[in-house]
Amino acid sequence: MNPSTQRLSAEDVMRDAPVIPVIVLHDVRHAVPLARALIAGGIRMLEVTLRTPQALACIEAIAKEVPDALVGAGTVRSAADAIAASQAGARFAVSPGFTPALGRQCRDLDLPLLPGVATGSEIMMAQDEGFKALKFFPAVQAGGLAMLKAWQGPFGDVIFCPTGGIHSGNAHEFLALPNVACVGGSWLVTGDALARSDWSSITSLARAACGLKQ
Domain spans of the chain, in order of start: 3-210
Question: pLDDT digits over 141-175, tens only?
Answer: 999 999 999 999 999 999 999 999 999 999 999 99
Please check whether residue 161 is in contact with residue 20, taking contact to mean a CB–CB distance below 8 angstroms: yes
Looking at CATH, the fold of the domain delimited by 3-210 is given as TIM Barrel (3.20.20)
Is 3 a residue whose pLDDT tops 80? no
For all residues of the chain together, what is the average pLDDT?
A: 96
Closest Cα to residue 49, out of 77, 78, 25?
A: 25
Catalytic residues: 47, 135
pLDDT band (50, 70, 90) for residue 213: confident
Give the chain's end-to-end CA distance (angstroms, integer).
23
Query: For position 49, what pLDDT does the model report?
Result: 98
Q: How many CB atoms lie within 10 A of CB 110?
A: 9
Helix (H, G, I), strand (E, B) or coil at 29: helix
Nearest of 83, 29, 79, 81 to residue 57 by alpha carbon: 29
pLDDT digits (tens, 9 = 90+) for 104-144: 999 999 999 999 999 999 999 999 999 999 999 999 999 99
Under 8 Å between Cβ of 41 and 204: yes
